[in-house]
Amino acid sequence: MHELAVTQSILEIVLKSAMENDAEEVTDINLTIGALSSIIDDSVQFYWDQISQGTIAQNARLHFNRVLATFRCRQCGTEYDLNEELTPCPTCNSINLDIISGEEFQIDNIEIKKKEADKNETTC
């Protein structure tokens, strides 16, 4: 259920950015989500479809870029990607690890259609 709060935050950020950039419509939103973030793409999409209704972002497409979890062993320095479940270092079997990637959750970019300038506007 935390995806609802996350999705609400995304919408707030998107709408603020759209307003600051004189957007007529938000068309695409690119998100990066790490494998360790516990955020489920389908849940975010579901909530987005609900809460964005009636806003300039209601038809925006969400694009999810998934980042693998990568660890570095503090004992031997081996770096490895996590494929399924947490595993010790494949080289020395240590569980003393640093997370290099996989916790990401960010909006990479927001694509908009800008409002057209008033055709009757004159400049002095």
C-beta of residue 102 within 8 angstroms of C-beta of residue 36? yes
Over 60: is that where the pLDDT of 118 sits?
A: no
The per-residue DSSP string of 101-124 comes to ES--EEEEEEEEEEPPPPTT----
Residue 84, pLDDT score: 78
Collapsed DSSP state (helix, strand, coil) of residue 43:
helix
The confidence score (pLDDT) of residue 60 equals 97
Residue with tokens 């759209």: 18
pLDDT at 119 exceeding the cut of 50: no
Q: Which residue has the tokens 């360790």?
A: 36
What do you get for the CA distance between the two ends of the chain, in Å? 54
Residue 124: pLDDT band with limits 50, 70, 90:
very low
pLDDT 10s digits, 53-93: 999 999 999 999 999 999 999 999 999 999 878 889 999 99
For residue 92, the SS3 value is coil
Cα 51 to Cα 35: distance, rounded to the nearest angstrom: 25
Residue in the block written with tokens 């400049």: 123
The pLDDT tens digits of the residues spanning 21-47 come to 999 999 999 999 999 998 999 999 999
Residues in the chain: 124
- Whether residue 121 is predicted with pLDDT greater than 80 in this model: the reply is no
Pick the CATH number of 2-114 from 3.40.50.720, 3.40.50.880, 3.30.70.1230, 3.30.2320.80: 3.30.2320.80
